[in-house]
């Protein structure tokens, strides 16, 4: 096992395209670390640069304290699992698992024993003689994992390994992968555009945009306190409500769509009349068909009600703009009816010039 340290990492392509722009990151020894971001943000390029499959334009990559920036991929002691698993279709499961050991010129008998041992650990013991085309998607994924495990690398590098699985199998594979990493305690970097995967699997997450790290933190930190409006709008199964507002002079409120709302603890850092963005997650709003006593509720007309199983997502259109609220499944809400969204003051976030205040 080994920590991974990236300092000032850049990657330029012909035509003036900068895929990585001064990346500074440290992945601790034995940590499960996720690189999360939209398509084209540079996360796969970053992973491939750590693996040595892409050559860094600038900066340094250190694995286990050694500078491997110019070290060939085969000498970096990392194992990569690709999105399409990259299995050899003409080889058996046993031969696919043993392939890295074959490259390292491990004796044939030892390769067979190691392949069989690793396959048993991943529930593939009865499939050693099969070829990838005879396996399900989940089984192919486990073969790719077994191949990575067989050579006992210092780090695992996963490039969206669950994206080709159906929803149920992906959930099962996610649980399996997290348990496996906990047992092995191998430093793991996991690339995904799926925030649910990142929040469920990772010890820490780096959110990338346009080749830069926008925020690094634990899943709880990233979800509860996004550092900027990009992360706030990207993280969450339903995006955070981000509403333009104005700080009131006195009273500890922000006026949003003409309605004074509690500003939360960040109010002390702001001055009256200042323009801000008022952030509140749909999960931290309550919904009512009446304004209720005391005000402090965003009014609107219910336009959409989406069934999400045990909850509903209610969309309101009103003076503040579009506001979404997650409500219990039996909440009476009908399109065309009036509705009011009331924020929890302890969950309010304020953003000034796109950055979190307080």
> Of 202 and 123, which is predicted with more confidence?
202
The Cα 300–Cα 316 span in angstroms is 5
Q: Are strands 78-81 and 155-159 parallel, antiparallel or unpaired?
A: parallel
Look at strands 4-13 and 17-27 and give their pairing: antiparallel
Q: Is the model's pLDDT at 300 over the cut of 90?
A: yes
* Mean pLDDT of all residues belonging to the chain: 89
Q: Are 285 and 342 in contact (CB under 8 A)?
A: yes
pLDDT at position 35 is 96
Whether the per-residue pLDDT at 122 is higher than 80: the answer is no
Residue 346 structure tokens:
């302890």
pLDDT at residue 321 tops 90? yes
* For residues 311-332, average pLDDT: 93
Q: How confident is the model at residue 141 (pLDDT cuts 50, 70, 90)?
A: confident
CATH classification code of 241-356 = 2.40.50.140
* pLDDT value at residue 1: 59
Alpha-carbon distances, residue 318 vs 163, 189, 244 (angstroms):
37, 43, 13
pLDDT at 110 over 70: yes
| pLDDT tops 80 at residue 292 | no
Tokens, residue 170: 């992906």
- Domain 4-234: CATH architecture, name and number where available: 3-Layer(aba) Sandwich (3.40)
What whole-number distance in Å separates Cα of residue 42 and Cα of residue 134?
A: 34
Kindly calculate the radius of gyration of the chain based on its CA atoms and give it in whole angstroms. Answer: 25
What pLDDT is stored for residue 132 in this prediction?
Answer: 87
End-to-end, the C-alpha distance of the chain in Å comes to 37
Highest-pLDDT range among 74-83, 197-206, 243-252, 342-351: 197-206
Q: What is the DSSP letter of 240?
A: P
Strand 311-318 with 298-307, pairing: antiparallel
How does pLDDT run across 69-103, given as a tens digit for each residue? 999 988 898 988 887 778 888 989 899 988 888 88
For the ranges 231-235, 292-296, 316-320, 331-335, the lowest mean pLDDT is seen at: 292-296
Confidence (pLDDT) at 267: 61
Sign, Cα dihedral of 286, 291, 295, 300: positive
Q: Is the pLDDT of residue 331 over 70?
A: yes
Query: What is the model's pTM?
Result: 0.86
**Alpha helices of the chain — where are they, by DSSP H?**
43-51, 93-103, 108-121, 137-150, 167-184, 195-201, 219-224, 229-234
Phi, psi of 310 (to 5 degrees): -80, -5
pLDDT tier, 150 (very low <50, low <70, confident <90, very high otherwise): confident
Quick one: average pLDDT of 40-59?
95
Give yes or no for residue 270 having a pLDDT over 80. no
Q: For the chain, how many residues are written?
A: 358
Phi, psi of 331 (to 5 degrees): -70, 130
Q: Smallest Cα–Cα separation from 35: which of 230, 45, 174? A: 45
Percent of the chain, pLDDT > 90?
51
As annotated, the residues of the chain forming the CATH 2.40.50.140 domain(s) are 241-356
- More confident: 63 or 16: 63
User: Confidence class of residue 198 from pLDDT cuts 50, 70 and 90?
Assistant: very high
CATH 3.40.50.300 spans which residues of the chain? 4-234
CA dihedral of residues 143, 147, 149, 152 (deg, nearest 10): 170
Query: What's residue 83's pLDDT?
Result: 76
Looking at residue 333, what is its pLDDT?
86
- As a whole number of angstroms, the distance between CA 202 and CA 64 comes to 20
């Amino acid at each position: 096992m080994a920590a991974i340290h990236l300092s000032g990492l850049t990657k330029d392509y012909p035509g003036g395209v900068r895929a990585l722009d001064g990346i500074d990151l440290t992945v601790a020894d034995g940590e499960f670390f996720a690189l999360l971001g939209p398509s084209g943000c540079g996360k796969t390029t970053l992973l491939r640069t750590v693996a040595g499959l892409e050559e860094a334009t600038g900066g340094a990559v250190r694995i286990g304290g050694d500078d491997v920036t110019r070290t060939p991929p085969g000498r970096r002691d990392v194992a990569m699992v690709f999105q399409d698993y990259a299995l050899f279709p003409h080889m058996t499961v046993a031969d696919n698992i043993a392939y890295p050991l074959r490259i390292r010129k491990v004796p044939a008998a030892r390769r067979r024993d190691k392949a069989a041992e690793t396959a048993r650990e991943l529930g593939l013991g009865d499939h050693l003689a099969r070829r990838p085309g005879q396996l399900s998607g989940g089984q192919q994924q486990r073969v790719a994992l077994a191949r990575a495990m067989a050579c006992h690398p210092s780090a695992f590098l996963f490039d969206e390994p669950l994206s080709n699985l159906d929803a149920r199998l992906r959930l099962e594979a996610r649980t399996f992968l997290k348990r496996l990493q906990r047992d092995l305690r191998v430093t793991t970097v996991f690339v995904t555009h799926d925030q649910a995967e990142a929040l469920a699997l990772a010890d820490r997450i780096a959110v990338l945009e346009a080749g830069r790290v926008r925020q690094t933190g634990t899943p709880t930190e990233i979800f509860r306190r996004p550092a900027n409006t990009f992360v706030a709008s990207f993280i969450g199964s339903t995006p955070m409500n981000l509403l333009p507002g104005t700080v009131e002079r006195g009273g500890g409120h922000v006026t949003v769509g003409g309605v004074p709302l509690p500003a939360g603890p960040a109010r002390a850092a702001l001055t009256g009349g200042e323009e801000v963005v008022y952030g509140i997650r749909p999960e931290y709003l309550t919904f009512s068909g009446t304004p209720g006593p005391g005000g402090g509720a965003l009014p609107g007309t219910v336009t959409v009600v989406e069934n999400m199983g045990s909850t509903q997502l209610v969309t309101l259109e009103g003076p503040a703009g579009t506001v979404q609220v997650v409500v219990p499944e039996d909440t009476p809400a009908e399109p065309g009816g009036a509705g009011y969204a009331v924020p929890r003051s302890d969950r309010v976030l304020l953003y000034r010039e796109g950055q979190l205040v307080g």
